């Protein structure tokens, strides 16, 4: 087993990984920017090293500073979390060169799956079902028009090296093609240093379903079933749940088999996620995320598999603790991403100082967070405050538990998207499980959130209501700190 691990990340995911290390007796090392010097993950670590100013390009994305910190601390491994260096094959190669274990997949798999063009070719050859389209980079807009006519409009332009919803644009007709191709290419070059773009058929209003896979260096590879991630805004996930309401047991088994085949084709080990689009009973492999996902906790609470623990075991050369036959999901889980965003200003990021903070608690509730009262959310990074995860014996009970947990969650001083989640939990289509990726615009969810915020603000302005909420918050805070209210 590794003796010391550096976590090349910040916030809640850094703490999540450190907790897994602590349970193994592995010493932890944090790297942090000037903006994070008072962050909770820095306080949690056994050792900590400042790696530069607040902007990520000068700190968390500075490969050499992170490697230098690992060498100085004597860390035997580096866990990248998600984002930043998590899917950077160059960084993984630097780790290998410096005899540091990169706690993730092999470089070859990262490179293959990091290129949507190369990975698509590889998947087709292996027999994995992919979205109709082409497997070559587009030379110019005239070629793009020809391909689009062959595939059939509407189509999607995609950056080959893209990810996180960046470098994707829908094109409905040939009049849009030239401008759209130029825009996506420039965005791809600026974001990923690679302006290669390809075309896929646009699957209108699909469901977005992903399968968690994990494998060891001995060649054992399994899946831990699916997560539904169709509640999205601008291709960014906001709510996830498992199991998906859309899959039959037969389809679940079939797509799980395809996910394992895709991972094996890439020579994969450690944790990863195979993403699929699903519509009208048909599914298509979309891409593979070669890292731990933000939404991994809902898989953990339904399967009992500690994915971060398995990552550390695999990186240490040990075999998986599970075989496919051992994985039997139980109940239903939902995750809401609690972000510092302004519902009344098109959900723009709203970094600020947290004045009051009380997390929900009770049966079936898990919070992954990295903040505390008095902490100032920096403007340089993702606006996530916490991940709220609930488990229930079935989906209706999980939804009701999430509603209760959202009501308990109190964040003062920072505008946040809790009202969005409250509106969704009461939406008839969500409750019926009949939603897809068009859910938010189709049902005018954002307009409903604005109305909800305005009405709630008006109702809570009276002294009686304010006093009642203060009393509730006091109970929640006391309960979370282990005190008894008499």
What does the pLDDT look like over 161-215, one tens digit per residue?
A: 876 678 899 999 999 999 999 999 999 888 888 999 999 999 999 999 999 999 9
- For range 451-469, the mean pLDDT: 66
* H/E run at residue 456: helix 445-459
In a domain, 110, yes or no: no
113/156 Cα distance (integer angstroms): 19
49 and 192: one domain? no
Question: What mean pLDDT do residues 348-377 have?
Answer: 97
Model confidence at 282, pLDDT cuts 50, 70, 90, reads: very high
Q: Which of 201, 224, 252 is the last residue of a domain?
A: 201
Q: How far apart are CA 420 and CA 390, in angstroms?
A: 17
Residues 6+ apart with CB under 8 A from 16: 81, 308, 368
In a domain, 60, yes or no: yes
Q: Within a domain: residue 127?
A: no
457: pLDDT confidence band, cut at 50, 70 and 90? confident
CB 197 within 8 A of CB 184: yes
Task: State whether residue 119 is helix, strand or coil.
Answer: helix
Q: In terms of pLDDT, which residue wins out, 485 or 136?
A: 136
Buried b / exposed e over 373-394, threshold 16 CB at 10 Å, is eebebbebbbbbbbbbbbbbee
C-alpha to C-alpha distance for 337 and 326, rounded to whole angstroms: 29
What's the burial of 337, exposed, middle or buried (CB within 10 Å: 0-12/13-18/19+)? Answer: buried
Question: Quick one: 215 and 176 in the same domain?
Answer: no
Domain that holds residue 354: 207-459
pLDDT range class, residue 461, cuts 50, 70, 90: low
Mean residue pLDDT across the chain: 93
Tell me the C-alpha distance between 259 and 128, whole Å: 8
CA distances from 204 to 153, 171, 244, 282 (A): 11, 12, 19, 13
CA distance to 53, 92, 282, 409, 420, per residue, from 354 (Å): 22, 35, 45, 13, 19
Is the same domain home to 54 and 195? no
Which residues have CB under 8 Å from 436's CB, separation 6+?
205, 206, 207, 230, 279
Residues 357 and 371 sit within 8 Å (Cβ to Cβ): yes
Q: Tell me: do 41 and 90 sit in the same domain.
A: yes
**Of the residues 201, 222, 256, the one at which a domain ends:** 201
Beta bridge partners of 102: 78
Residues recognised as catalytic: 291
The pLDDT, as a whole number, for residue 460 is: 64
Residues 183 and 79 placed together within one structural domain of the fold: no
**Which CATH number characterizes residue 171's domain?**
3.30.1490.20
Q: What's the residue count for the chain?
A: 486
- The number of C-alpha atoms within 13 Å of 83 and in the hemisphere containing its C-beta is 16
Quote the CA–CA distance of 268 and 105 in Å, as a whole number: 6
Q: Strand ranges (DSSP E) for 126-165? A: 155-163
Share of residues in the chain with pLDDT > 70 (%)? 94
**DSSP structure string for 245-310:** TT--HHHHHHHHHHHHHHHHHTT--EEEEEEEEEETTEEEEEEEE-S--TTHHHHHHHH---HHHH
Q: What share of the chain is helix, strand, coil (3-state, %, to 5)?
A: 40, 25, 35
Same domain, yes or no: 329 and 358: yes
- Phi-psi domain of 240 (left: phi exceeds 0; alpha: psi -120 through 50; beta: other): beta
One domain, residues 191 and 328: no
Do 407 and 442 fall within a single domain?
yes
Q: 461, 486, 462, 485: which is closest to 473 by C-alpha?
A: 485
Last residue of a domain, one of 171, 201, 231: 201
Cα of 342 vs its chain's centroid, Å? 21
CA distances to 72, 150, 231, 395, 441 from 331, rounded to whole Å, are 45, 45, 20, 8, 30
Residue 274 predicted with pLDDT over 90: yes
- Residue 48 is given by DSSP the state E
- Asked if 171 and 265 sit in the same domain, the reply is no
Structural domain count, the chain: 3
């Amino acid at each position: 087993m590794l003796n010391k691990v550096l976590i090349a990340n910040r916030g809640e995911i850094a703490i999540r990984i450190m907790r897994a290390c602590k349970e193994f007796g592995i010493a932890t090392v944090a790297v942090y920017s000037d903006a994070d010097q008072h962050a909770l993950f820095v306080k949690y670590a056994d050792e900590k090293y400042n790696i530069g100013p607040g902007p990520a390009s000068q700190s968390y994305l500075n490969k050499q500073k992170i490697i230098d910190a690992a060498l100085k601390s004597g860390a035997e491994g580096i866990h990248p979390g998600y984002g930043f260096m998590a899917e950077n094959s160059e960084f993984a190669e630097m780790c290998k060169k410096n005899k540091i274990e990169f706690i993730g997949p092999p470089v070859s798999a990262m490179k293959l799956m990091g290129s949507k063009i190369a990975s698509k070719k590889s998947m087709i050859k292996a027999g994995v079902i992919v979205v109709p389209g082409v497997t070559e980079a587009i030379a110019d807009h005239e070629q793009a028009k020809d391909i689009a006519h062959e595939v059939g409009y509407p189509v999607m332009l995609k950056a080959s090296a893209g990810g996180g919803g960046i470098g994707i644009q829908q094109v409905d007709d040939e009049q849009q093609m030239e401008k759209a191709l130029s825009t996506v290419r420039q965005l791809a070059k600026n974001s990923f240093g690679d302006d290669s773009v390809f075309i896929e058929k646009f699957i209108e209003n699909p469901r977005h379903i992903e399968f968690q896979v994990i494998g060891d260096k001995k060649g054992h590879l399994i899946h831990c079933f699916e997560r539904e991630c169709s509640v999205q805004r601008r291709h960014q996930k906001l709510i996830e749940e498992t199991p998906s309401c859309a899959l039959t047991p037969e389809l679940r088994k079939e797509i799980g088999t395809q996910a394992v085949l895709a991972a094996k084709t890439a020579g994969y080990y450690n944790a990863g996620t195979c993403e699929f689009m699903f519509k009208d009973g048909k599914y298509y492999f979309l891409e593979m995320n070669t890292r731990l996902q933000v939404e991994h906790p809902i898989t953990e609470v339904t399967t009992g598999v500690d994915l971060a623990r398995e990552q550390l075991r695999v990186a240490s050369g040990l075999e998986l603790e599970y075989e496919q036959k051992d994985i039997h999901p139980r109940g239903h889980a939902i995750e809401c991403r609690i972000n510092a965003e302004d519902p009344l200003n098109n959900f723009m990021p709203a970094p600020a100082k947290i004045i009051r903070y009380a997390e929900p608690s009770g049966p079936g509730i898990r919070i992954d967070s990295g903040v505390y009262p008095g902490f100032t959310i920096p403007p340089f990074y993702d606006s996530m405050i916490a991940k709220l995860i609930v488990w229930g014996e079935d989906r209706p009970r999980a939804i009701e538990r999430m509603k209760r947990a959202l009501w308990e969650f109190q964040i003062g001083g920072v505008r946040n998207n809790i009202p969005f989640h409250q509106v969704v939990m009461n939406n008839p289509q969500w409750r019926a499980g009949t939603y897809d990726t068009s859910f938010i615009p189709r049902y005018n969810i954002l307009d409903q959130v604005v109305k909800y915020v305005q009405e709630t603000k008006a109702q809570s302005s009276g002294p009686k209501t304010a006093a009642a909420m203060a009393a509730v918050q006091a109970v929640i805070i006391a309960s979370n700190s282990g005190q008894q209210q008499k």
